[in-house]
Each structure stands twice: as structure tokens, then as C-alpha cells.
Copies of this chain bind each other. A is one copy, B any other.
Amino acid sequence: MTSNVVIVSGGQVEGLAELVGQSQQGKKVIGVDRGALCLIDAGLDCHVAIGDFDSISSKELEKINDCVETVIILPAEKDMTDTEAALDYVVKYYPDAQIKMVGLLGGRLDHLMSNLWIAYHPSYQQLLAQITIVDSRNSLSYYRPGRYHILKEKDKKYLSLVGMTAVKQLVIKDAKYPLTGHDFSFPIALVSNEFLGEQMTFSFEEGLIALIQSND
């Protein structure tokens, strides 16, 4: 059974091998457009390649065809981004998998925002709790109303909660800057909080929050 999917876009490749992680049974690695090439060039597995591939040469596309089992070529002019097409593929074939997304940050700001805006898209609401967006300095997960226990990532210092919407009754515990039931009438970024120990707790009643662990 496939319980882990890694989606690799071409946005940032620093520390790619570490971010994708050691190969393991049942893990599926999806390369999005140039991301497929990054995987191959780094000597990493790429099980599925998906994209319009209009930013790579025909020779590079040939290389992808040679190395990757499933290659899905999308039209260049379409209503979704290549990353969204990759998520649609995951919804279809691996709806229950944990999804790590690599290479979505850095580079073009419009691409970065488009990638973060997945959180607002009705099509991906059922996937949202399964997604983590990572690069070498940041990891981001989305949370809908509820109560959550978060483990500190060993290599990260800062803990930030970014409201993607207005937020009601936000409680933060076991962190340097705690909160006891605060309403925010507009999306607000509470940055540079820190874990007091190995675990913190937060809860809220309405809204959508991006939790980020990061390093300088």
C-alpha cells in the first residue's frame, strides 16, 4: 500500500536527496515538470512525471521518458497549474497518502503564492490535512478548526502560525508566546514563536491556519 507520496517541483533543489528522503517500500515519487529532471539528475527515484514540459528541451524530455515509468504530458495552455495536476493525480490514485511537497518555494513569487493557495482550493480540501510543504529551511502544514499536538522538528527553531483567514478562539500552549482564546478578525501572521519543550498544543474554532516550523 502506498502511504507516502512525495511531489517534487522544480522550484528549489537545494538538499533534494534529504528532502525526498531515503527510498522505502510503498513510497511514490512524482516529479512535476522540471522537478522530474531534478530527481533523475540527483540519482533519485521518479515513478511518475507530470507537466507540460515546455520549459525543458526535447532531449531532456527523452531522458525523462527513458527513466520514468509513467509520464503524463499536459497541454501548455490549461486552466490548472502542473502542481495542481499532480495533486489531482494523487487524489485519484493515492487519496489516503501522506503528501510531502518539495521544490514549491523560492523563485517566482506568483508560483510560490499559487502553491500556497492550494489551501483555498475546494478540490483539495480533503487532502489538506495530509500535505506538508517543505524546503531546506521551512516546513508548512495546514490546519482546519480543532485541537492539535505538534512535535518540534529537531532541526527547526521557530514556530509560526499564519492565519490564511480570520481565526476564532485561537489557543496556543507550551510555547514562548502563549495565547488563551483570541479572535482575529483578519488573517494575521504570528511569527517567531518557539517551542518550550518537545511538543506544543494549539486549537481554534473557525478559520484556516498554516503552521510553519523554520530556521534562519
Q: Which residues of A contact B (CB under 8 A)?
A: 55, 81, 105-114, 116-117, 120-122, 135, 137-138, 140, 158, 160, 162, 186-189, 191-192, 210, 212, 214-216
A216 to B108, CA, bound (A): 6
Are B212 and A109 in contact, with the CB atoms below 8 A?
Answer: yes
Copies in the complex: 2
Are A216 and B55 in contact, with the CB atoms below 8 A?
Answer: yes
Are A162 and B55 in contact, with the CB atoms below 8 A?
Answer: no
Main secondary structure of the interface of A (DSSP, over half): mixed
Q: Could you list 9 examples of A-B contacts with CB < 8 Å? A: A55-B216, A108-B138, A108-B214, A113-B212, A114-B160, A114-B189, A114-B191, A117-B162, A120-B186
Chain B residues positioned under 8 Å from A81 (CB to CB): 191
Say whether, besides A120-B186, A120-B187, A186-B121, A137 and B114 are in contact (CB < 8 Å).
no
